[in-house]
Structure 1
Amino acid sequence: MALDTVGTVPWTIKGELILNCNCTVFCPCVVSLGKHPPTEGYCQAWAGIRIDEGQYGDEDLSGLNVGLFLEIPGNMGRGNWKAAAFIDDRASEAAYEGLVNIFSGAARGTTGLFSVLVSEFLGAERSPVHFETVGKERRLMVGKKIQGSVVPVEGKDGKDIVVTNTEYWMGPDITVATATKGKVRAFGRVWDFDGRSAEICQIDWHGPK
């Protein structure tokens, strides 16, 4: 696809996102919309996206998974992020290219903020990206680079705690979760976020507007 068409191609992604970060309690960014600093003063996170339905132009993205690596030095809204993407090795060349455009922010739309907030895109690479749901547990495995598992936090009535009707960029309803496993071995980082903050979000993203 010609470079001059990037940012004009219509795209959609519907599915689920899970995220685990180094915050010791539920991520302050969700309700502060990035204005409040992470609990540790900086953010280190991994995320997984399961694409149930999706397309980039004429290319079908349905059934593919994506892993993300994020490092933010302070308040989310101030930018200077470092980010990388692990693209499902089952993706066709066109799907791979489309997903790189989406998750680098170049495709604009919902993820267009990445092009503003990410100062260093560490790159994208094909990897075996497995996203599994077992009961309420969600698991993401990207080879030996990301091995994560998150579970919802139950409320008094046994139902999941959900922060609803937010303006958070991922989606309006964020399920409060915790990580039973959160290990990252990538880009010279070695992280262990077992027991730390996590999120689950049903996503309905699109672009370029």
Structure 2
Amino acid sequence: MTDRWQLEGDYVEACNCDVTCQCIWLEPPDDDVCTVSLAWHIRDGKYGDVDLSGLSVGMLIVTEAGVMFDPDTGWDVVLIIDEAADEDQRAALEDIYFGRAGGIFAPVSDTHIESAEVATVPVTFDRDGADFAVEMGDTVSMEVIGKTGFNEELGTISPHPLTKSREMQTGKSTTATVSYGDEFSWDVSENNSYLGDFELTNA
């Protein structure tokens, strides 16, 4: 029987779409493929008896051509785990993010993931309101600012699958670079970002 897990904290992503991620509306992304870096900082989290609070996790995704969430679209994935995690914490995070422990990542893993790797690197994750700065070793560099509309309020997007409320805030990357081998190597700075608080569980 799978242990219960729950995570909550801060989330940011930066992708290659120019203005907004088309995947939310089940449309093909810009250039017909998605290249995206995702980052979570777990303020409070547990997997069974394993405390995950204070750790950060990243994920790099490159998709085949087409709609990201189409069942026929495959993904290649790198899971990045904070080197501060001990052996039990690393195992728990792999179980969660590779879908072996249920929750939102289970159908994603079953349907889309064609190849998956794990990298362990030092991670710094800083947030000041709607401004984020994430460094994951020499692999990922993300700086993101929240974007406001004509009413001077931060924009929102829904439905976003990676939080219980289904709502994220809109942003723009000022830096969004990835360097992990030939396949996971890109600079999508000055493009779309989503950000905000997240809450996920398999309960």
On whether the aligned pair clears a TM of 0.5, the verdict is: yes
Structure 2 distance, partners of 1:170, 1:135, is: 19
Task: Identify the match of residue 47 of structure 2 among 44, 56, 62.
Answer: 56
Root mean square deviation of aligned Cα: 1.5
Unpaired runs of at least 5, structure 1: none
Asked if structure 2 preserves the Cα contact closer than 8 Å seen for 1:59 and 1:95, the reply is yes
Contact kept in structure 1, 2:130 and 2:196, CA below 8 Å: no
1:75 to 58, 64, 67: 67
Gaps in structure 2 of 5+ consecutive residues: none
The answer to whether the 8 Å contact 1:47/1:67 transfers is: yes
Q: 1:192 aligns with which of 187, 192, 199?
A: 187
* Identity across the alignment (%): 25
In structure 1, which of residues 3, 10, 13 is the aligned counterpart of residue 4 of structure 2? 10
TM-superposed CA distance for 1:130, in Å, is 1.1
Deviation at 1:135, TM superposition (A): 5.0
Structure 1 residue 57: Cα displacement: 0.7
- What's the TM-score, normalizing by structure 2? 0.91
1:92-147 Cα shifts (integer Å, max 9, x gaps) = 21111000111111111122123223332331121101111145310110111101
Q: Deviations over 1:16-59 (max 9, x none)?
A: 211101111100112x1xx2111221100101101011001100
Moved over 6 A (4+): none
Output aligned runs, 1:64-143, within 5 Å: 64-73=55-64, 74-78=66-70, 79-143=73-137
Alpha-carbon displacement from aligned partner over 1:80-103 (angstroms, at most 9, x marks no partner): 111111101111211110001111
Instruction: Return the match for 1:145 from 110, 114, 139.
Output: 139
- What is the aligned residue count? 197
TM-score by length of structure 1 reads: 0.89
Q: What is the CA–CA distance in structure 2 between the aligned matches of 1:118 and 1:127, rounded to whole Å?
A: 25
Deviations 1:158-208 (A, max 9, x none): 2211124x2x3113111111100001001323201110111113211111x
CA distance in 1, matches of 2:133, 2:118: 21
Contact 2:8 2:199 in 1 (8 A): yes
Partners of 2:153 and 2:59 in 1: CA distance: 28
Letter in 1 for 2:28: P
